[in-house]
Amino acid sequence: KVPWHEGMNCREYARRNPFPLPEEAKLKSLAHRNMWRQCVQCKHMIELETGCYHMTCRCGHQFCYTCGAEWKNNKSTCGCPLWDDNLIMEQDFADDDDDDDDD
């Protein structure tokens, strides 16, 4: 997304203004520090807290969180592992903690 740019389309504006706005640069820096990924289709930021590396963005685009490769027909197109055992364990512990609330 870019600021309003009367008289030119978004692609032309981006070509004429190749440097990001300060706010965008801050967000990209924060995303890099936190290892967030950006959907290549809609540009929304995505954070993996727990679970596997197969991401489905809210726009429907599916990709590998590790390398960004697109998933096709619900299958990975890269050689990255599907999950990290530590992330799966964190999910299991979080689920167990939720069960304790019912007591």
Q: Which residues are catalytic?
A: 52
Residue 53 to residue 79: CA distance in whole angstroms = 12
Question: DSSP secondary structure string, 11-76?
Answer: HHHHHH--SPPHHHHHHHHHHHHHT-EE-TTT--EE---SS-SEEE-TTS-EEETTT-PBPBTTB-
